[in-house]
Amino acid sequence: MSLLKPFSKLPELNTANILLVENEEQFQQILAETIVLLKKNVNVNVRLARSLPLPIENEKFRPRIDLVVFIINLTSELSYQSAEVSLKFLDPDYFLGKVCFLVTNARNASVPPERLISVRKLVASLHCPLLFAEDQMTDGVNTAAHRLLAILKVTSGHVPMATGLYLSSLTRCTVPSDIDQQNFD
């Protein structure tokens, strides 16, 4: 079992690396292409994986990863379970602001409401931010790419006076208490 560690490698100049983890590999690919094409002043590398742990053969060439994004497709139970299993292969240091979750298909009518609640509980217990994305339209993908890039800039240290830990303590997901939830419904 090889843990992925955030501080085991030296950072490179003007470079930020993002790792997208998705079981289904479709949205991941589109999102990666969009992120790479965005206009930005740092060199962004995207690495794609289906699940963690990452293969040991690539260990040597893998740069330091500044942000790990778990993409969960709410219509598929498997997607959630796979993300849950992958979390165990991440060093605890990552949870100090270098992990975020991206949920797709949350508006789909066929999604059981319990699934979103269980995702929120999981994310809240890890003190990570939770983002929602629309994966069917280019606009939605663009927005998601912009958001991730903004977070990535912070976590890779390209924004002065801000750190990933600082950002995620402001943006982390919380689970509404039952009373709030009822009012909301």
Partner 1 sequence: MDQSMKRTLQRLIRRIPFQLLKTTLSKWAHILEEDLLLLDFTQPKCLFTENLLSLCEGKGTTVKHITELEMIYIIENPNQVMWRAFQLLDAREDAPSIELTQFKEQFKAHLTELNSHVSIKIKKHTDEAVWIRIAWGDNFTKPNHLKPTYAVHHLQTPYVFVTGLTVKHKPLLNQALVLTTRYGSIKDASLSGRNLVAIRDLLMRQYQQVFPTKHPKPLQEKNHVPTNPNIEKEQIENTENRLQMACEAFGDGTLPQLQKAVYQLETKFRDNSNRTLTGSDEPFRGVVEFTSTNLLESLRHAVSSGIASTPVTPLLSSITQKGRNYFVVTDKGV
Is 143:94 a contact under the CB 8 Å cutoff? no
Q: How far is the CB of 74 from partner 1 (least distance, A)?
A: 15
Q: How far is the CB of 48 from partner 1 (least distance, A)?
A: 5
Measured at the CA of 48, the angle between CA 46 and CA 49, to 5 degrees, comes to 150
Q: How far is the CB of 56 from partner 1 (least distance, A)?
A: 11
Which lies closer to partner 1 via its Cβ, residue 42 or residue 117? 42
Which lies closer to partner 1 via its Cβ, residue 67 or residue 173? 67
Q: How far is the CB of 61 from partner 1 (least distance, A)?
A: 9
Closest CA to 2 of 61, 58, 67, 45: 58
Which lies closer to partner 1 via its Cβ, residue 66 or residue 173? 66
**For 142, how many CA atoms within 13 A lie in the half-sphere containing its CB?**
5
Rg (C-alpha) for the chain, rounded Å, is: 16
Q: Which sign does the torsion angle of CA 2, 154, 39, 8 carry?
A: negative
Residues that bind partner 1 (CB under 8 A): 19, 23-26, 32-33, 36-37, 43-51, 54-55, 58, 62, 76, 78
